[in-house]
Chains A and B, each alone.
Chain A
Amino acid sequence: MTTADKPTEFKVLGSTPLRQDGVDKVTGRAQYGADIRLPGMLYGAVLRSPHAHARIKAIDTRAAEAYPGVRAVVTAQDLPELESKVADLGEGSMNLRYQSNNILARDKVLYFGHAVAAVAAVNAHAAEAAAALIQVEYEVLPPVLDVRQAMRPDAPILLAELRTDELGQKGEQPTNVAAHYLDEAGDLEQGFREADVVVEREFTTAMVHQGYIEPQNATALVTADGQVTIWCSTQGAFGVREQTAEILRLPVSKIRVIPMEIGGGFGGKIGVYLEPLAVLLSRKSGHRPVKLTMSRRDVLAATGPTSGSYIKVKMGANRAGQITAAQATLIYEAGAYPGSPVGSAMGVIFAPYRIPNARVEGYDVVVNKPRTAAYRAPGGTNAAFASETVVDELAEKLGLDPLAFRLQNGVQEGDRRVNGVAYKRIGLLEVLRAAQSSAHYQTPLAGPNRGRGVAAGYWGNYGGKSSASASVNADGTVSLQEGSVDIGGSRTALAMQLAETLGLPIEAVRAAVADTDAVGETEGTYGSRTTFATGWAVYEVGQQLKTQLCERAARLWNVAAEQVQYAAGVFTSGEQRLTFAELAAQLDRLGGPVVASAAVQPKTWGPGFAAHIVDVEVDPETGKVQVLRYTAVQDAGKAVYPNYVASQMQGGAAQGIGWALNEEYVYDAQGRLLNANWLDYRMLVTLDLPMLETVIVEVPNPGHPFGVRGVGEVPIVPPAAAVANALYRAVGVRMAELPMAPGRLVAALQARQG
């Protein structure tokens, strides 16, 4: 581990305790959303559109309602009709009317798999059979499946009321272009005049899915007094509460969301799909609990994947190796409703470099595919695939080592991004140097059809609202309630921050994820924010507990509170001395229980940078690519729970390699998804990967009590570009399309041979 600045001494942070939810998760006892069983529970099924684009002319539910065992059938007529209103969903915002129409289509279906109706019955087989009996009359319309096709003036229009948000101004014509954004810096033409080498390339990338193993699920119970309880697998219980309240026009106080354990999210479990349906069905079935679970087919066809894209990049550099100008146009698929991550992609595309003259344009375009959702560093992988392969080509043309070229142009504190914002203390240069000196980069790669690629990546990270509370137990332990759902060990990382704050061993603090009635508002586990922001709330809770406990000790010793010191688990005042546990045991006669709660909304999150190195071997006859070696280097600020920091780096790298090589949504000309299963949507398996080496760099974030930066997202940004650059070194072709599937690689090799 590399520590750039003077290290802070920590006792708990940086250690590797076993995770607190671990035993439940290795014994099968942990309760995920679909594991819930309630007395009298009904099972739901959803009818989905077989068409990518069609007007709904009529829905006849009578046969379904008459089917034995059916207790309720709902369509969009059961949902309140909503005005357009934009809600912040974290990692993206969404118009609530669109959100409602995405839950159940009202006038039109806009993608293959769009939900049209739902059924609740006494068992899943009856619900499924009944759903199949619902008659929907469609007027089939031509689908639009490609962003550039969707931007043509004669393209079929998806949303009649949509007008382009043109740099803040509303357009007047119906369109599929939801928004057009622009960032500019310096003088672009001058910058390209100063360049000795210019590279210009076009890229396309396919729509891909997060691929969490647990399908979406929701169970709801509406009682006779109108109180709603929802059990579900979500990245954020408060987000489910807010979205469900808005879609169903209920006060949030009527809704309690209990977050169950969650089987992966990666951004895909922020928005709701099933929760409002489960509530409607429970209400309509006479207040019985209703469980809805998606099939894998539904997950792939009808939840939010991330955007396919078209990206054009032009960059110039002078002979001294300095980048002088950069230009990019990014066109991202929003899916059926506006809201692609093109904005954050614009932030990623040139982020690692000092570029005096730049222009970045982005377009958010609706197409007849599922409404996209966040996927780990949303938009970043596509953008870095484009820019980091162009950077690689510039370095090659200048005869420079690709890491040295990146170091020469790499950003540091004070440098400005294309949008004008200046960086605070960041760790890119430390990351690049660690990559250069890594065992991997220092080991030569030999052999035919083998190549080594590198790429850098940026993610801005996020802060957001977080809450936590804690109570001191008489045995000297502390119980922590926190609002962040735990997807990958965060409960333990938060307990560690409270233990560190209190000077206690980790064994003395036990963390639990609280439901929406039991803790203050907390945004979801997304944006690489949980260890940073909820960690900060936990730190504040610890500070309050210390203050209160010093007061109790002062009362015991009959001194002023300021005269009590606390360090390393021991209260002192003069000769007086008391351990944390000794004081905790006496609280009953010193004023009663000690509890504390804190809520924070910090703005001082620090960006994360990564550099990845990959060695590949290509079979030029089949186009098959085998990853031989992989190293991920990343600045974590302070690595609170290092095993799990490294695991985030490995997991992000693996998803990125899959995206690079195999994963893609394949639609036919009618817009039907052809590979809505895990045989043909090809996620990497054990045999496709080597061990994944990690190097954690620690450049503390000055904007956090412990120096924490988010770590979850940036590791998916560099892999596709790193693999592309490695392929070029191996077989001499620059791939401009994701995925770089075997057939495409063979075609590129054949085209080169002529």
Chain B
Amino acid sequence: MRAFEYHSPDSLEQTLTLLAGPGQAQPLAGGTDLLPQLREGRRPADRVIDLKRVPELNALTYDPARGLWVGAAVACYRLCHDPAVIQHYPGVVDGAHVIGAVQIQFRATVGGNLCNASPAADSIPALIVHTAVCHIAGPAGARTLPVEAFCVGPGRTALAPGEILVAVSVPPPAPHFGAHYLRFIPRNEMDIAVVGAAAAVTLAADGRSFVAARVALGAVAATPLLVPEAGAYLAGRPVTAETIAEAARLAQAAARPIDDVRGTAAFRRHLSAVLTRRALERAVERARA
């Protein structure tokens, strides 16, 4: 591993100053992706900037009016064991708690999962269907971006040089809202998703029809993929096996998977429909509960 400097700033301002310096700077949150990448020479670093002492990046708050605020350096274990998150955002927990085994959970962060920008990232499809927003700080000031626009390619994000992801916010769930994320892996742990699928639905008060829906897939395209046509199809339609199957078919049609060591394109296309259907069914159950 190449030698680098280590910095542990305690303010966002100081962090931005360090990021703006000469050479390559790499923010360190949990490090569960960064350290192996540094070790294998896959990410260059002259400076590693530890984010664990920056207050804004370590905040985790829930407010019924404004929703959930997840600092980019909040570890998955903390997020997934927060009572408010468990109660109001089980779909977010679905995605975040399957990122690695417990040793990884204590370190890995949702912010890191976003910034690593893996097409198979587990937390991102769930955040997309929750209409989550990325909060970005940089030399030119602060800006926001819908989560689905954050990843622009494998390992690449919309962050400009010197910018940093500060937090992800998730709006408060509407009445009769339910969401679910699930993935297929060959083992029961320690695997990267072959395909992941997230669904969020808002049902009519009687629970019999869709008011709105969002579907997103992981590991079937260069980035986690929002499938707007599936949500648009379901809106206003009754909750039936047929409508759910059609939405799953639309998701499958939107998938653009490749063959790789984790699965073939054909298997991934097949799983896209199966997992979308299962995600929608569980989201409906949650919305009705």
Seen from chain A, the residues whose Cβ lies within 8 Å of a Cβ on chain B are 125, 128-129, 621-622, 624, 661-662, 666, 674-675, 678-680, 682, 684-688, 741-743, 746-747
Contacts and interface: CB of A to CB of B under 8 A. Distances in A.
B192 A687 contact: no
A662 B187 contact: yes
A129 B3 CA distance: 10
A252 B217 CA distance: 62
Given A675-B261, A680-B261, A746-B270, A685 B1 contact: no
B234 interface: no
A420 to B, nearest CB: 43
A684 B271 CA distance: 22
- The B interface, classified by DSSP as helix, strand, loop or mixed, is loop
A108 B263 CA distance: 33
Interface in B1-24: 1-3
Contact of A685 (B187, B194, B261, B264): B187
B271 A622 contact: yes
Contacts of A742: 184, 186, 194, 267
Given A621-B274, A687-B189, A666 B261 contact: yes
B262 interface: yes
Contacts of B266: 747
20 contacts: A125-B3, A624-B186, A661-B186, A662-B186, A662-B187, A666-B261, A674-B261, A679-B190, A680-B261, A680-B262, A682-B186, A682-B190, A682-B191, A685-B101, A686-B189, A687-B188, A742-B194, A743-B267, A746-B267, A747-B266
Contact of B264 (A128, A621, A661, A743): A743
Interface string B219-233: 000000000000000
Task: Place the interface of chain B in its size category.
Answer: 20 to 34
Interface string B172-198: 000000000000101111111010000
B185 to A, nearest CB: 9
A128 B38 CA distance: 14
A621 B272 CA distance: 11
Contacts of B192: 679-680
A685 B188 CA distance: 8
B25 to A, nearest CB: 21
List the 4 closest A-B pairs by CB distance, nearest first.
A687-B188, A743-B267, A674-B261, A621-B274
Contacts of A679: 190-192
Interface string B250-274: 0000000000111110110011001
A741 B187 CA distance: 10
Contacts of B187: 662, 682, 684-685, 687-688
A611 to B, nearest CB: 27
Contacts of B189: 685-687
Contact of A622 (B2, B191, B262, B274): B274
Contacts of A661: 186
A747 B267 CA distance: 8
Contacts of A684: 187
Contacts of B263: 743
A686 B190 CA distance: 10
Contacts of A687: 187-189
Contacts of B261: 666, 674-675, 680
A728 B263 CA distance: 23
A678 B190 contact: yes
A746 B264 CA distance: 12
Contacts of A680: 192, 261-262
Contact of B188 (A678, A688, A747): A688
A682 B262 CA distance: 10
Given A622-B184, A675-B261, 9 more contacts: A128-B1, A622-B274, A624-B186, A666-B261, A678-B190, A679-B192, A685-B189, A742-B184, A747-B267
B275 to A, nearest CB: 8
A674 B101 CA distance: 23
